[in-house]
Chain A
Amino acid sequence: MKARVHVMLKNGVLDPQGEAVRHALGAMGFDGVEGVRQGKVIELDLAEGATEADVTEMCERLLANTVIESYTVEMS
């Protein structure tokens, strides 16, 4: 079983890396990009029996800092 965790800075938290990417896209001539947010994807290979609740706890305790980041979990 695999889990994919997406971690993103919360809305309202300045994302200077995203801003830098947005500027670069503008400089390359890609008009119309009004905002870029950059996050990360963490893939977990899980042993038999691991549940989404386990992954959620991992997110809360380590994988995301919920002061500044939001996360979503996809199980597959």
Chain B
Amino acid sequence: MRAAVVVFPGSNCDRDLAVAFEQSGADVTMVWHKDSALPEGIDIVGIPGGFSYGDYLRCGAIAANSPICKSVADHAARGGYVMGICNGFQVLTETGLLPGALLRNAGLKYICKTVGLRVETSASDFTQGYNAGDVIDIPIAHHDGNYFADADTIKRLKDEDRIAFTYTDNPNGAQADIAGILSENRRVLGMMPHPERAADAGHGGTDGQALFRALAGALTEA
């Protein structure tokens, strides 16, 4: 599996994500936001958490219009895999690769803690390492993680089995408890919680490991 991790000014989970990819066996290239092209042969692009461009204007809005994001959109349009975590999820909704938007947390507070996530579907290369209904412990750290979409979009996400994860105890007001969603072709995942911070025994939890292992399994040619 060849992975690229995009680095924006303000990204702060880029190295964690790169390590999680590497530990699952991936060959990882870091890509700068001003680059206009992804390296050849990339299987998956990771958009890491952080505060791209200082979250100015809206979280993820300026990153979504950066030179590299045009290439990321082209990669997704060709059927390539993309994974956005936290600020990366915000970037993916701002680019339109995933529907909806992330609003300020309903309680107005920045929340940093480990939460329970219910795996809603195992029918994707990201989530096939879990069983639907599994509850896993994954950390969150965000101020704007309140997922919003109109009622039609929420219904479509449910009908098409595109809700990847929900919160067991909704911390931020997200509609339908949504913590992560998939694109129509199930190759783009956006999620607010941080599986890369629960991918090594040293993190105090390893419930995120199955996601990276499943990806590596699916994206590494036998």
Contact = CB atoms under 8 A, between A and B. Distances in A.
B and A form one assembly: yes
B57 A63 contact: yes
Q: Interface size for chain A: under 10, 10 to 19, 20 to 34, or 35 or more residues?
A: 10 to 19
Looking at chain B's contact residues, is the secondary structure mostly helix, strand, loop, or mixed? Answer: loop
Interface residues of B, number: 21
Contact of A14 (B94, B103, B150): B103
A62 B103 contact: no
B148 A13 contact: yes
Contacts, number: 38
B148 to A, nearest CB: 6
Which has the most chain B C-beta neighbours within 10 Å: A9, A14, A16, A17?
A: A16
B58 A20 contact: no
Contact of B61 (A14, A17, A65): A65
Contacts of A67: 93, 99-101, 148-150
A1 to B, nearest CB: 22
Contact of A16 (B61, B94, B99, B106): B106
A68 B108 contact: no
16 contacts: A13-B103, A14-B146, A14-B148, A16-B103, A16-B104, A16-B105, A17-B104, A17-B108, A61-B65, A62-B62, A62-B65, A63-B57, A65-B94, A65-B101, A67-B149, A68-B148
